[in-house]
Amino acid sequence: EDQVTQSPEALRLQEGESSSLNCSYTVSGLRGLFWYRQDPGKGPEFLFTLYSAGEEKEKERLKATLTKKESFLHITAPKPEDSATYLCAVQGPSNTGKLIFGQGTTLQVKP
Partner 1 sequence: ETGVTQTPRHLVMGMTNKKSLKCEQHLGHNAMYWYKQSAKKPLELMFVYSLEERVENNSVPSRFSPECPNSSHLFLHLHTLQPEDSALYLCASSHINRGLNSPLHFGNGTRLTVT
Contact partners, residue 26, CB within 8 Å, separation at least 6:
1, 2, 3, 4
Segment near partner 1 (CB under 8 A); pick from 19-27, 44-52, 59-67, 75-83:
44-52
CA dist 53 and 26 (Å) reads: 14
**43: contact with partner 1 by CB under 8 A:** yes
Question: Shortest distance, CB of residue 84 to partner 1, whole angstroms?
Answer: 14
Nearest residue to 35 via CA among 15, 66, 64, 14: 64
**25: contact with partner 1 by CB under 8 A:** no
SS3 category, 94: coil
Segment near partner 1 (CB under 8 A); pick from 14-22, 59-67, 71-79, 102-110:
102-110
**27: contact with partner 1 by CB under 8 A:** no
**84: contact with partner 1 by CB under 8 A:** no
Q: What is the DSSP letter of 22?
A: E
Segment near partner 1 (CB under 8 A); pick from 19-27, 55-63, 65-73, 90-98:
90-98
